[in-house]
Amino acid sequence: MELGYLAGTIVKMIALVAWIYGLLWGLGRKRIWQKSATLVLAFGVIQAVIWTRIGDFALFSAFDQGLLFQAITMTMVALGLNLIYGFNGQFSLAQWGFYGIGAYCSADITYRWTNGDASGLIVVGLGVILGALALVGVGKLLKKKRGVPVLSAFTFYLFALVAVGLAAVWLGSMLSPLCAPLFGTPDAPGPLASPIALQAVFFLSVIFAGAFAAEVSFLFGLPVLSLGSDYFGIATLGFAIVVKTLLVNSDTILGFKEMKGGRGMLGIPKVTSWAWAFIFLVIVIVIIRNFIRSSTGRATLAVREDEIAARAMGIDVAGNKLLAFVVGSFVAGIGGAIYAHYMGFLAPASFDFIAGFNPLIIVVFGGLGSMTGTIAAAFGWIFFLEGFLRILLGQLGTDAPSWRFVLYPIALLLLMLVRPQGLLGTVEWGFFRAEGARKRLKQALGAVQRAGAQKAGE
Amino acid sequence: MAGINTGDDILVMTDTVKAFGGLLAVKDFNLRLPRGCLQGLIGPNGAGKTTAFNLITGIIPLTSGSVEFKGERIDGLEPFEVTRLGIARTFQNIRLFSNLSVLDNVRIAYHAHAGYSLGDSILRTRRYTQHEKELTDKALDFLSIFKLEDIADEIAKNLPYGQQRRVEIARALACAPSLLLLDEPAAGMNPREILELMDLIHFIKGRFDLTILLIEHQMRVVMGICEYLTVMDFGEVIARGTPKEIQNNETVIEAYLGKGAGKSAAS
């Protein structure tokens, strides 16, 4: 029975890896109906498997689903980090901090909502939207006045955001009492207390959490990214520690009673369904892929390859680094929000900077500069560590699963010795490959050569 | 050499000074580049030639003085802004994006004029598709001018040295400059490659209507293609003139070979 279970788990994991690659392959097809069919099919297969139950036996147990959701959130965080580290060459440990920020931010919105308080949504929503406008506005002004030093620019942005934040809090305290009657009482729930409203609020909270993480990363990255690579790494480590410390003291220093500091935040509605996880996974994959397969993406690579040459090619190196950092953090924030609403419980301990090495390991493991490799490594990592090793070692005794933290570093060591460039190196596959460009290159080359031959013939 | 731009000069450097601590790497340096000329900047090692390049392109800030390009002050601008105004350069030690393909190296140079924003590329709008296609076609046409179209798909670091130089010059020209700065383009080349390089420089100058400023140690290149020379030593200009004049200039010979050498060379 036990061995059968283990074998079943392995089969399921392999099937899931095959699934994610099917998804990438299908999305990489040319026609729009092929892409849509792939999406429907990829979603449907897992949904069907989740629904399949024969008596007490669920084909896809809660444990398996947990692995899937963890793999998806880890994929998001790691994709963002690969953009920052693998593609732009900025070694960052802050990714885990933005993941935590996203998780807590969205959790606070929905937690308040389920308790009949719209202030979280209003304050964060207004703050994020107005904040973005303020940043763009200040940016425009600074551009007009040339040669403003980075630190002064940072101060302007900071003041703008603080002012916007205060305004958002004030507006929130005005507007949220107006919404209170719409929630109704527990006996007679109003329109805002309906499950549909909660789903909508969840969707908004995920977007806002991502945007909030992005704005924080902008403010943090602006001064810090001007440091050299190693110093930037240390600064990001500091950021991760600050975030964790703030989360531990969230009820005292930050004054969010519902976050309950180090004891952990309970009672977050578990809204993350398979549909939501899938939708956001696809959104993240599309954003990242479209980013790297664009002129901006090429500029990002140029910055990684050689900053001085990139500058000489007319690339705004500082701006490009900041852009990659902000987009990467946005994605991490979304991942955090999905995670929070899947777990229903958040503890600051899970956002410790030590855990922040996990996405880093995944990115290096999958191959710096290969998004396909990152996805493979994220799925493989969760399945191997949390799935396979846990069950396998579970056979040996109740304490034995802890030994997986001894076994996986060994596996890591071996892989790094055998393949230092990571699982896939810089090879991309399916959706992430620049298939169209390559084909066009071949065609255009043919045309150029034909023209040359003609000229020679004349 | 006053700093009044007569309108014919594309680049005017007036009394530029660069101090690294107490060391004056460039001292009261004046330079005028008439539009369409091919000037050489020569001098012994450590004379401050590359520093002068870095001052023009904004990679290091001036201590004092001014740099004017097409009549506008460009000192104090970021390097990428200088490039966008129309000054491109190559580097002494080749700085290609070594892990990217030759095509991508050129396409990166088009970034400033890509014609679509990040929003367009995330949403894959029509503008993205159209401009991206144009951009690729333009880059391929461009590569074919340099006879590099066959290696467009090749990773830059796998190319032989001479070809890397070619790609670097092509990449610099893809920025659509009106002034091209070449920092020792012939360094490390064999005689045949040097001849090809000289042909290439002549060719691009005519084809792209360029003004070229070139640092070079190889005298056959300098004497072969430069119309006018500026000689630097210890951060200062010690001589100016046509290659012929420079060849017989005693100060220059002294700077290169030491005192007294001029007399014996002349006799």
Nearest to B103 among A295, A317, A441 (CB): A441
b/e per residue B64-83 (b: at least 16 CB within 10 A): ebebbbbeeebbebbbbbbb
CB contact under 8 A, B99 and A426: yes
- Type of residue at A209: A
Please give the model's pTM, rounded to 2 decimal places.
Answer: 0.92
Classify burial at A8, counting beta carbons within 10 Å of its beta carbon; exposed 0-12, middle 13-18, buried 19 or more: middle
Q: Which residues on adjacent β-strands are paired with residue B228? A: B39
CB atoms within 10 A of CB B33: 22
Mean pLDDT, to the nearest integer, of A155-161? Answer: 95
**Which ipTM did the prediction report?**
0.89
Enter the DSSP assignment of B24: E
Residues whose CB is less than 8 angstroms from the CB of residue A96 and which lie 6 or more positions away in sequence, other chains included: A77, A240, A332, A351, A353, A355, A356, A358, A359
Residues whose CB is less than 8 angstroms from the CB of residue B237 and which lie 6 or more positions away in sequence, other chains included: B29, B30, B31, B230, B231
Q: What is the Cα–Cα distance from A160 to A166, expressed in whole angstroms?
A: 10
Best of B111, B120, B183 to disrupt the A interface (most A CBs within 10 Å) is B111
CB contact under 8 A, A440 and B133: yes
Q: What are phi and psi of B67, to 5 degrees?
A: -125, 125
pLDDT for A456 equals 61
pLDDT in tens, A67-119: 899 999 999 999 999 999 999 999 999 999 999 999 999 999 999 999 888 88
Residues whose CB is less than 8 angstroms from the CB of residue B147 and which lie 6 or more positions away in sequence, other chains included: none
CB atoms within 10 A of CB A384: 17
Q: What is the Cα–Cα distance from A353 to A341, expressed in whole angstroms?
A: 21
Q: What is the Cα–Cα distance from B171 to A302, expressed in whole angstroms?
A: 12
Task: Say if residues A22 and A408 touch (Cβ distance below 8 Å).
Answer: no
Which residue in this structure is represented by tokens 């002494």? B92
Using left for φ > 0, alpha for ψ between -120 and 50, and beta otherwise, residue B144 falls in alpha
Classify burial at A91, counting beta carbons within 10 Å of its beta carbon; exposed 0-12, middle 13-18, buried 19 or more: middle
Q: Which residues on adjacent β-strands are paired with residue A208? A: none
Q: What is the Cα–Cα distance from A317 to A319, expressed in whole angstroms?
A: 5
CB contact under 8 A, A296 and B111: yes
- Type of residue at A293: R
Residues whose CB is less than 8 angstroms from the CB of residue A166 and which lie 6 or more positions away in sequence, other chains included: none
Q: Which band of pLDDT confidence, cut at 50, 70 and 90, is reported for residue A284?
A: very high
Task: Say if residues B229 and B43 touch (Cβ distance below 8 Å).
Answer: no
pLDDT in tens, B140-198: 888 988 888 888 888 999 999 888 999 999 999 999 999 999 999 988 888 888 998 99
All domains in chain B, ordered by first residue: 33-60+73-86+177-267 (3.40.50.300), 96-172 (no CATH)
Length of chain A, please?
458
Mean pLDDT, to the nearest integer, of A279-284? Answer: 96
Chain A CB within 8 Å of residue B88 CB = yes
Q: What is the Cα–Cα distance from B196 to B147, expressed in whole angstroms?
A: 12
pLDDT for B5 equals 46
CB contact under 8 A, B80 and A317: yes
On the question of pLDDT at B258 being above 80, the answer is no
Q: Radius of gyration (Cα) for chain B, nearest Å?
A: 20
pLDDT for A432 equals 85
CB contact under 8 A, A305 and B135: no
Q: Which band of pLDDT confidence, cut at 50, 70 and 90, is reported for residue A437?
A: low
Residues whose CB is less than 8 angstroms from the CB of residue A205 and which lie 6 or more positions away in sequence, other chains included: A105, A106, A109, A110, A121, A124, A337
Query: Which range among A178-182, A376-380, A389-393 has the greatest average pLDDT?
Result: A376-380
Mean pLDDT, to the nearest integer, of A48-67? Answer: 84
Chain B residues 161-180 with a CB less than 8 Å from chain A: 171-172, 175
pLDDT in tens, B245-256: 888 888 888 888
Q: What is the Cα–Cα distance from B35 to A295, expressed in whole angstroms?
A: 32
Best of B122, B164, B181, B183 to disrupt the A interface (most A CBs within 10 Å) is B122
pLDDT for A240 equals 95
Chain B residues 33-72 with a CB less than 8 Å from chain A: 57, 59
On the question of pLDDT at A307 being above 80, the answer is yes
Please give the angle made by the CA atoms of B197, B199 and B205, to the nearest 5 degrees.
100
On the question of pLDDT at B3 being above 50, the answer is no
Residue of A nearest to B96 (CA): A309
Mean pLDDT, to the nearest integer, of A237-257? Answer: 92
Q: What is the Cα–Cα distance from B262 to B249, expressed in whole angstroms?
A: 8
Tokens of B148: 């590099």
